[in-house]
Structure 1
Amino acid sequence: MTPTLRQCLLAEVLGTAFLLIFGTGAVVVDEQAHNLGHGGVAAAFGLIVLIIIQGLGHVSGAHVNPAVTIGFWAAGRFPGRRVLPYVLAQLVGAGLGSWAVRLLASPGSLLGATLPAHGAGQAFGVELGLTFWLMLVILRVTSSYYEQGLLVGLTISATVWLEALVGGPLSGASMNPARSLAPALLSGNFTAAWVYVAAPLAGVLLAVLADRLLQLKPVVGGPAST
């Protein structure tokens, strides 16, 4: 049976909420206990992405990211009429997740907000590059050419884990406007917030272009055309 739009939106709310609860929650826990470290936080993001994909992917696709939804739409693999409802569901989920994290955070905590380490310009470049690679991997491994299943979730989550591990110290490795806007809103810190909206959107559009250039086409007169 095909999931209804209501079921898809519920899945996106839940998935994005738990992305924030376990991802940014790991940041807040490390602030208090100092026992996770940067590697532990990166692992938390990678693991929760894997769990969300495997648990909710068959319902909504487990986008949990407005940039990913827009990327799928730009690639012609997602209906335009569902883009706004999906994005709104993701923003609501992120807000709920960040609110839950706030209940555990110490006073003055930024709730896992993403902030540039060396200026907005560098952060923009890092976020653009990270989101480009994430979206390109997503598009490639979810194409009909590849076999679906656990390997898809592992590949995407490993990409998130690696990018958080390497890019986190520079920009926070958000790659997700909802993930960045929710902590910014609840903590009241909007430093370079535009970077974490504009760079992921630019990154996914570049990934869609690259994906089209990488798509295999049958050679005229070759075996595929006979």
Structure 2
Amino acid sequence: MADQTSGSNGDSEVVLDIRDNSRTKQEIKCTMFSFPFIQKLIAEVFGTYFLIFAGCGSVAVNLNNEKVVTLPGISMVWGLAVMVLVYSVGHISGAHFNPAVTIAFATCRRFPWNQVRPYLFGSAPYNRASIGSTLACGTLQLLFTEKLNHFWWTQPAGSDVQAFVFEFIITFYLMFIVSGVGTDNRAIGEFAGLAVGATVLLNVLFAGPITGASMNPARSLGPAIVSHHYAKLWIYIVAPIIGAISGAWVYNLMRFTDKPIREITGSFLRSSA
């Protein structure tokens, strides 16, 4: 979720020089088949798996054990899961776990477009995040044989318009925070995981009863694929993508300089001292 790099996001491509009699030099870009990029994809799949397993698993445990986890507990599970995963694999893949985040970063040139398609594995239902989400939901289906219909999918509690607006706003808010702590060199990068996890916790706490607080197409696609329940799914695909793109662009409009904060406020701090 928090793209810890700026621009190319690490080893974006490998250029091979091939020499023969007719051509002295030829550059072949092999982004999809480079070992570092495969590592990123694997990290995203595993990260999404653990995120969805923990989040949806907390809902399942709550329903199967007389709501012992409670809504605040479920919110904490989602937030803490995001936080620890950002710290554990953020330096490998950027810790997106969310197709909307990947697309939003690409639109404002914080993620290379030549990696977007392989990062998403083509069509949305089969992207790398949804693979992890689907596997996690399949695992939960094997572990919980009852009351599956209560947690397998995200469903609006009110109207479609209300759900769409809620998902747009909370994803906008999330992406705005991610852009600030994950891509701005003036932010305190060590607290990126904490800030993003806390944002997810807050969003689930107040928006969970209304929409399920998806903020992530993969979070809704995985349960939908496993349960074959696709009603209202378009809300949880369209709204997060639009919200994430809007949040990223709004923050980038506010990013008036790339200078570190100490260079901006240095003279003020010295005069105050």
Aligned-pair distance for 1:108? 4.9
Contact 1:25 1:112 in 2 (8 A): no
- Deviation digits for residues 101-125 of structure 1, max 9, x if unmatched? 1112233513442110002111000
Contact 2:64 2:147 in 1 (8 A): no
**2: distance between equivalents of 1:144 and 1:155?**
15
Q: Specify the structure having the higher radius of gyration (Cα).
A: 2
What corresponds to 2:4 in structure 1? none
Aligned equivalent of 2:130, options 70, 76, 91: 91
Closer, same or farther: CA 106–119 of 1 in aligned 2, 3 Å? farther
Q: Residues 168-179 of structure 1 correspond to what in structure 2 (within 5 A)?
A: 168-179=208-219
**1: distance between equivalents of 2:153 and 2:74?**
13
Q: Residues 213-224 of structure 1 correspond to what in structure 2 (within 5 A)?
A: 213-217=253-257
What corresponds to 2:42 in structure 1? 10
Corresponding residue pairs, total: 219
- Deviation digits for residues 29-84 of structure 1, max 9, x if unmatched? 11101210111111110010011101110100110000011111112110112112
Residue 192 of structure 2 aligns to which amino acid in structure 1?
A: V
TM-score, normalisation: structure 1: 0.92
Residue 136 of structure 2 aligns to which amino acid in structure 1?
A: G
**2: distance between equivalents of 1:6 and 1:166?**
37
What secondary structure does 1:216 align onto? coil
Contact 1:128 1:200 in 2 (8 A): yes
Contact 1:114 1:180 in 2 (8 A): yes
Aligned-pair distance for 1:184? 1.3
Contact 1:69 1:78 in 2 (8 A): yes
Residue 92 of structure 1 aligns to which amino acid in structure 2?
A: I
Q: Identity over the aligned pairs, expressed in percent?
A: 37
**2: distance between equivalents of 1:168 and 1:108?**
19
Residues 1:148 and 2:181 aligned together: no
* Gap runs ≥5 in structure 1: none
**2: distance between equivalents of 1:105 and 1:183?**
14
**1: distance between equivalents of 2:83 and 2:152?**
20
**1: distance between equivalents of 2:135 and 2:197?**
22
Aligned-pair distance for 1:211? 1.1
Q: Which has the higher helix share?
A: 1
What corresponds to 2:159 in structure 1? 119
What corresponds to 2:52 in structure 1? 20
Residue 102 of structure 2 aligns to which amino acid in structure 1?
A: T
Bigger drift between 130-139 and 95-104 goes to 95-104
What secondary structure does 1:194 align onto? helix
What corresponds to 2:92 in structure 1? 59
* RMSD, matched Cα: 1.8
What corresponds to 2:111 in structure 1? 78
Aligned-pair distance for 1:212? 2.3
What corresponds to 1:105 in structure 2? 144
What secondary structure does 1:4 align onto? helix
Aligned equivalent of 1:204, options 230, 244, 248: 244
What secondary structure does 1:114 align onto? coil
Aligned-pair distance for 1:215? 1.1
Aligned-pair distance for 1:209? 2.3
Contact 2:49 2:133 in 1 (8 A): yes
* Gap runs ≥5 in structure 2: 1-9, 12-34, 121-126, 265-273
Residues 1:159 and 2:199 aligned together: yes
**2: distance between equivalents of 1:47 and 1:200?**
21
TM-score, normalisation: structure 2: 0.76
Contact 2:54 2:78 in 1 (8 A): yes
**1: distance between equivalents of 2:49 and 2:222?**
10
